[in-house]
Structure formats: C-alpha cells, structure tokens
Amino acid sequence: MATRNDPPRPITDSAPKAAAQPDGRSLLTDYDVYLFKQGRHHTLYDKLGAQLVAGSRTARFALWAPNAKAVSVIGDFNDWRADANPLAPRADQSGIWEGSVAGATRGQRYKYRIETAHGQRIDKSDPFAFCSEAPPRTASCLWTLDYDWQDAPWMASRATANALDAPVSIYEVHLGSWRRDPLHPDQVLSYRDLAHALAAYVREMGFTHVELMPITEHPFYGSWGYQTTGYFAPTARYGAPQDFMYLVDYLHDSGIGVILDWVPSHFPNDPHGLADFDGTHLFEHADPRQGFHPEWNSCIFNYGRNEVRAFLISSARFWLDRYHIDGLRVDGVASILYLDYARRPGEWVPNVHGGRENLEAVTFLRELNEAVYAAHPDVQTIAEESTAWPQVSRPTYVGGLGFGLKWNMGWMHDTLAFFGRDPLFRQYHHNEITFSAWYAFTENFVLPLSHDEVVHGKGSLLGRMPGDDWQKFANLRCLLGYMWTHPGKKLLFMGGEFGQWREWTHEASLDWHLCEYPLHSGVQRWVRDLNHQYARAPALFSQDFRAEGFEWVDCSDASNSVIAFMRKSADGNSVALVVCNLTPITRRGYRVGVPRGGRWREVLNSDAQIYGGSGTGNLGVVDAREEPAHGRPWSVALTLPPLAVLCLQPE
C-alpha cells in the first residue's frame, strides 16, 4: 500500500501529562512553559483555558495575557463579579495568569476580565474554551470532553481509506443548509439529527469522505465558519461538543471519513475574540500592513511569535486528538504564504531578503504538518493553495511544505471556463481541457468543485452550463464524468450532485424536491454510479499522483472537441479508456487506439437514458480490431454520444 512520505518526527511536543493536582496547583510544569515559549507545545488544550477538576466542583484557569495589568475570571459561579476570582501571574515571566475557582460546574458561562496596561477593562472569551454559548451570545462555557467512542474499527483501518493510492471522493457540506426540517425551514438541524441522514445519504451516493465547512465557533453565521473565534469549540448552533462527537462517530461507523475546514489564515476583530486580546496586538501583527487582511476585513496571525504557532498547532492537534477527525483542509494557504496577498505596492512589508514570501508562515506550515503527521500518520492535511508555490504536498525534509494533498485550483478554473463556453467555440479553447494533464503529477492534487464556485453571483454548476435545459444537464454530466476519470482525488460541493438550479445560500436547505424530476435524479444517479465505479476500478485511483498511471490517446482533436486518455493501475491489471465528446454532435465510427485486443465493456456512459441522456452508445460492449490507431496496434470504433463521457474497460 502506498503511504505518505512522513517527515522526521520533530522534537517531542509535550512532557508527560501532569496528574490532577491538589486544588490551587498549576497544571503547567516548567517544561510545559518552556515548550510553549519555544512554540513546540502542541497539546496546550490540556494546560491552558478552563480545566474542570474531576470529582470536585473546581475549575482551574490559565490564560496567556503577557501585557495585562490584571486578570480575573467572571461567570455564573461568582455572579460575574470581577473582584471574586482574580488570577495571578506566574513568576516565570511566561505571561500566563492562573487560578482556581470553587463551585464551578459544567455548563456554567464565563469570560476573562482583563485590565490593560492603560487601565482599560475588557471582557474576553477563552481562546481555549471547549464550548461556547450559541451565537449571538459570546461567553465561554465550562465543559468536559468525555465520550464513549465506538469507532475503534474505523480508527484502526483509516490509514487505508486515507492513503494516496485509495479512492477518495469528498462530499463538501455546510451543516446548517444541507438539509432542514421542512416544517421549520428557518431552523437548523442538530449534529445528532444530521448524523443518520447524512451518513445514509453519503454512503448510498458512494462518497468516501465528507468535508465540513468550518464548525469551529464563529460569531457571524454568514461567514460560513471562516471567521473563527473558537479554535477549540464546535459551534453551539448545532449542539454540544458530545453531539458533534456523535456525528463523527456515526459517520465513522458508516465507513465515512471526516475532514474539517480549519482556518489559521485570519480571524475576526470581534471585541470578545482574539483581536487586541490583552490590550495589545497579541495574536496579530501590530502593523496593519502585516496584521490586517484587506480582502476579508480581519486580523492576520503573527506566525513569527512562538506562542501563536503553538496555539494554532495545538488547535489542529485538538480536532485530531479529541474528535477523531481524519483530515484538515487548511483554508487560505496562499494568503498565509504571501506578504503582498490582496495588497497593492506600498501596502505590505517585505521579508528580510526583500521578497514577498512570508518566511515565518512557511516555518509555521512546515511545523504544523510535521506535528500532525508525527502524531497521526494516518490522516491527511489538505492545502487550499491557489498559486504555483512549489512542493506544497511534498515532505518538509525535501524542502516541501509537508501537506498530504493540495487543491488543484488551476484545473478547476480552466475546466469551468471551458464547460461554460458554447460548444461551437470550444475547439478554439481546447488547451483549457488538456493543459491540466501536463502538471497533474507535480503535486498530490484534489480536484475541487467547491462552495466557492456556486456563490457570489457565479450561479450553480448547472446554471453555468451553456445551451437549453437538455444540453445544460448533458454538459453537467459530462463535466462530472471528466472530473471523476481525471487524475486526482475528487471533491464536490453539496447540491452539485443533483444539479441544483439556484446559487447556494447558507440560509436555506438544498432544493431536495428537485430530485423528484428525471433530469435531476438522473444527475444524482450518475454521480452515484461514478463513485461506485471509481471505487471498483484501481485504474481510476491507484496512480492518481504518478505519471505512469495516465496516458494520452489523443489530445489534439480540437476540431471535433474530443479527447481520449488511458488510466492504468500500477500492476497493469486494471485499465480504463476514457473518451469525452465535448460537443452536441453524435460521432459514429470514431476510431480510438487501445493497448490490447478483445472485448471492451462500456462501464460508464453519461448519455444513458437512466441519467437523462438520449440513450446513444455502444450497446454495452465493443470489440477491438487489429487495426492500428494512435500509435497502438488495436483500435475500437465507437459511437460517441453528444456531450458525453464514455469509460471502457477490457474484459
């Protein structure tokens, strides 16, 4: 089994965990503080924040606020009185304030009252809180993370499901708008309500993983989770932490991996959050040319500060350690890497060499991936990186950033541009559909048709297709068939699998009623069959990241807008021929070279009537003749349906 080239294990990131101390004693050892200040403590969630003491009504609090004049805990347990429970600074100059509160129990709300060096008093949520009030309220909640996990079989075998040579088909989901109660369309479903329906649907459709848009706590629902304030708390909109654990557990029980969108690229400037945390720019850069994100109106983490890197890496580890998450899709990697991202000349500060690369951020990303893979070699980190930064998905010990996978934004852009064109003019833009093959193996790519492509006026995938309604559906089926047979893992945003007409909105459920109509149910069945055939055919997934697994048959027939290519497994036992007719013209007797004689079975045809097509095809099988074509000794004469993808395999 192919596995990821794991980077060397970094310096150990935590000392043996401190046992429960007598009331009033710190959970932080001197070694913990040393690692924190070095940026190498990656399990800070066990040490900082609020820790309830088992067997007693006591909570221990620890907060990093090095520039504060005074800190106290206010909450339900002391009637929100700032003078009741002051915290004391440690004597080691770490900037950590500590203390214990008697009478504290799970579920009680709290905040930190911070007096700044200038005498201002501000109330802040706990950066390490495990639970928060449901927005728009902003207090943190005392909580424990006890849960009886039932996913041991999945956890023992997930290395196979997450391997680079495995079939990976990801269904991207926004929990609040995937499905809602028809009787209460304004109300979101809970984690537990969603668990059974989502698992059953994803399993039936053949997706191997779900990717959840950020469930980390966020004050503004319209940010879709990408403006995070709670890096250790699942949003309370859908339930308690144990409810989210149940969702993950149930998906695992159904054989489905869970990937989380995780946002270390920026954070909002809400007054209860991380911004100006102790009266100073603690988590963000003070200089707005480095610390303010002009595109998202948010704050940028100071990756050069050791404690900030430890905070972020501890957050990443937290979701893997405590919630059994199988992968992290890291948002906005390009905005992390480039100092001039979304900035004009004069609005950014060059690095020490005068360049635009954020050197501190590069160090952070490498440390992040080393820490994740050292602790969990059977998960994947996935970079949403939109530039040509080299070796994003290569190990750090060869100079890479250390991610397991990278979104192929170039493929997405070119493919959608091509399919959005009138077929009459596609012959003049043939390179848009063929170019991706020339760089397909430079990274470990995921092919994303994500939420970003169906928002902000872009319309739905179906709505972006040209032609009348029949041609729109045919084009969409063709697009999806091309995607599933192209090298790379797959990601499709919810609604695209049944051809939703309208643009996605986070305020409403998907239009599930459309599945009652034949053309929509046909697209849905097509995606289901694509997934199941994909998982059955090693040729289509086992060499996604090796050039040996792909071979052009013909990439030059621009005048007919036809492409043909082979996919091959490493052992040569699985071979697939893919032919795409990208015009609405049926082509009969179209000869394509193949590597062997005998019968070739038509295992996929997007124009089949069961998918809403015209029913044109090759009656399920075609015989290869010893007639050379495309440099091969045998060939098949095919009927190419209009706007369709064919996939054939030798018997």
Annotated catalytic residues are: 331, 384
CA distance 213 to 355: 33
345: buried, middle or exposed (CB in 10 Å: 19+, 13-18, 0-12)?
exposed
CA distance 463 to 476: 9
CA distances from 501 to 319, 353, 393, 506 (A): 35, 50, 35, 15
221's tokens: 């629902």
CA distance 360 to 367: 11
Report H helices in 180-323. Answer: 191-205, 241-253, 288-291, 306-323
Give 598's strand partners. 624
Answer yes or no: are the C-beta atoms of 651 and 599 closer than 8 Å.
yes
String of b and e for 303-321 (b: at least 16 CB within 10 Å)? bbbbbbbbbbbbbbbbbbb
335's tokens: 């905005």
- The residue behind tokens 């005498």 is 119
Answer yes or no: are the C-beta atoms of 290 and 349 closer than 8 Å.
yes
CA distance 372 to 370: 6
Q: HSE-up of 148 (CA within 13 Å, CB side)?
A: 0
Angle of helix 469-485 relative to helix 518-536, nearest 10 degrees, comes to 10
520's tokens: 């929509």
Residue from 247, 232, 255 nearest 321 by CA: 232
Answer yes or no: are the C-beta atoms of 472 and 423 closer than 8 Å.
no
Instruction: With H, G, I as helix, E, B as strand and everything else as coil, classify residue 361.
Output: helix
55's tokens: 């067997």
581's tokens: 């007719």
Number of helices (H), then strands (E), in the chain: 14, 29
CA distance 598 to 577: 14
357: buried, middle or exposed (CB in 10 Å: 19+, 13-18, 0-12)?
middle
Residue from 294, 299, 301, 335 nearest 316 by CA: 301
Could you give the strand order of the β-sheet that contains 644-650, starting from the edge strand earlier in sequence? Answer: 550-557, 562-568, 575-581, 644-650, 598-605, 621-624
Residue 544, C-beta contacts closer than 8 angstroms, at least 6 positions apart: 164, 165, 444, 445, 487, 488, 489
Q: Phi then psi for 178, rounded to 5 degrees?
A: -65, -55
Q: Give residue 341's region: left, alpha or beta (phi > 0; psi -120 to 50).
A: beta
